[in-house]
Amino acid sequence: MDFNANKCVMVIDEALPLGMIANTAGIMGITLGKYIPETVGPEVSDKSGSSHLGIIQIPVPILKADREKIKEIRERLYQPEFEGLIVVDFSDVAQCCNVYEDYIQKAASVEESDFNYFGVGICGAKKLVNKLTGSLPLLR
């Protein structure tokens, strides 16, 4: 992956409680890591010789938006223009399931238009990511 030509962001519902924001970011981050493993750097040793697992080599800004804006972004990501982007979302449909098989079954019974997204993670061509998220502020 060309780190200069690509960008990775997360857009999270600013109205969520802090714990849900952290949970949403963590879940999406793990999934993005699976699909872009080349962004994770090698292990690092500190001066004492202790080892630390590699972390992502590019910044991942956490942006904020309201639920409607996140839904709009997610819907746009289904358009052919954005098909090259890696996208992960986390929704109420996923959050209410404690067993992954339950999530599979529940998702199959819910129309996409009925998903309420807590967040969306996007990684890929910087130009496309910016087109979708460039005007969003950082979540602070």
Q: Where are the domains of the chain?
A: 6-133
User: Burial, 74: exposed, middle or buried (Cβ in 10 Å; 0-12, 13-18, 19+)?
Assistant: buried
For 72-90, the pLDDT digits (tens) are: 999 999 999 999 999 999 9
Q: Does the pLDDT at position 116 exceed 80?
A: yes
pLDDT band with cut points at 50, 70 and 90 for residue 50:
very high
| pTM across the whole model | 0.93
Q: Does the pLDDT at position 1 exceed 90?
A: no
Average pLDDT over residues 38-62: 95
User: What residue type is 25 in one-letter code?
Assistant: A
| Sign, CA torsion 127/129/135/140 | negative
Q: Does the pLDDT at position 106 exceed 80?
A: yes
Q: Give, in order, the Cα–Cα distances in Å from 71 to each of 19, 112, 119.
A: 21, 10, 9
User: Could you tell me the CATH superfamily of domain 6-133?
Assistant: Bit1 (3.40.1490.10)
User: Burial, 64: exposed, middle or buried (Cβ in 10 Å; 0-12, 13-18, 19+)?
Assistant: buried
